[in-house]
Amino acid sequence: MAQPAISHPRSVPLSIPVRDVLPWAIFAGVLALALIYFVGAEQGATSLISGDLVHEFVHDGRHLLGFPCH
Amino acid sequence: MVKNLLVRGMLAGLAAAALALVFAWIFGEPQVGAAIALEGHTPHGGHDPVATVPEAGADDGPVSRTVQSTIGLAAAVGVYGVAVGGIFALVFALVYGRLGAFGARATAALLAVGAFVTVSLVPFLKYPANPPAVGHPDTIGRRTALYVTFVTIVVLLGVGAVLLERWLARRYRNADAAVLAVVAFLAAVTAAALLMPGVEELPAEFPAGLLWRFRLASIGTHALLWSGMGLFFGLLAERLLTPSAIRANAPSTV
């Protein structure tokens, strides 16, 4: 686990090893992209759940966040 | 360390989303309502001019306009904020200490500017946000594919620009390397935007002023979201990464 440099206030901070970040990046990245998909595209371009409840619920946010809506 | 940063990123995303939500509600919702009022002639389920009066139990679809413009908007912006906040934290974990002598807050601020430009601003300039009543429902698949493709391309070009800057910084001064990388990024992004097909689906009779106000509200919402992200995450990450003794001794270190 990386600790920031403490020798001098101006020193370059120590970086976090990539192998520590990678598992989190893959797992949380996939979850985050799934969430963005449900806000941005579900029941629009593609539909995993039938109906238009998701689309209609996030409708205004989808428009204002700039996703193509309908 | 990474788990801790991830939690802080999601919290910063939620706080930034709250900021963006207030802006979107005040400046965006009136434009969405006005555009829906024009949508009467466009056959699309769930939208009806009657529904623009939020009172009167306007229950035209599965979700009323009142719900759409309040908790629907809040849920959409909130979920988006938490999700991009998590990704923001993970990208921060990868670049912290690898961009030069930037501290936690400066790294977060730089990352927020980069994210705003690549995820929001450049895609907005090519495929701008559209209010209801603009765009054919039949082309939603193509438009979404183009949008997602372009965002991906711009983000990859942004990553490429950062790698180019790091490579140039070994040969030239930092400022020169940064300017060269920005110029290369702008050239590449312009080329990509010119090569990608355009989307022209604006009805001729749609009011230009309304479109302009809606798009301003949209890009303003993004600007606030990313500003809040850089600011809040920078503060939270600094408390984690920089021991308090150093923060006390070096208040000027951003």
Cβ contact B218–A63 (<8 Å): yes
pTM: 0.86
Tokens encoding B156: 């990859």
- Please give the pLDDT value at position B251: 55
Q: Which amino acid is at B203?
A: P
Residue A42, SS3 per DSSP:
strand
Q: Which of residues 39-58 of A touch B (CB under 8 A)?
A: 39-41, 44-46, 51-53, 55-58
What is the distance between the terminal CA atoms of chain B, rounded to a whole angstrom? 20
Q: A52-56, B45-49, B75-79: lowest mean pLDDT where?
A: B45-49
pLDDT in tens, B201-248: 888 889 999 999 999 999 999 999 999 999 999 999 999 988 766 666
Enumerate the domain spans of chain A: 18-64
Nearest chain A CA: its distance from B77 CA (Å): 6
Cβ contact A56–B68 (<8 Å): yes
Show residues of chain B in contact with A36, CB under 8 Å: 80, 83-84
Confidence of residue A49 (pLDDT cuts 50, 70, 90): confident
Tokens encoding A69: 């809506």
pLDDT in tens, B146-189: 999 999 999 999 999 999 999 999 999 989 999 999 999 999 99
- Please give the pLDDT value at position B247: 67
Q: Does A12 contact B at CB distance below 8 Å?
A: yes
The percent of residues in chain A predicted with pLDDT above 70, rounded, is 81
Which is nearest to A52 in space by CA: B217, B121, B137?
A: B137
pLDDT at B51 over 70: no
Residue of chain A nearest B225, judged by CA positions: A65
What is the DSSP secondary-structure string of B196-241? SPP-----TTS-HHHHHHHHHHHHHHHHHHHHHHHHHHHHHHHHHH
Show residues of chain A in contact with B241, CB under 8 Å: 4, 13
- Please give the pLDDT value at position B60: 61
Let me know: does B133 contact A68? Beta carbons within 8 Å: no
Show residues of chain A in contact with B1, CB under 8 Å: 1-2, 16, 20
Residue of chain B nearest A61, judged by CA positions: B73
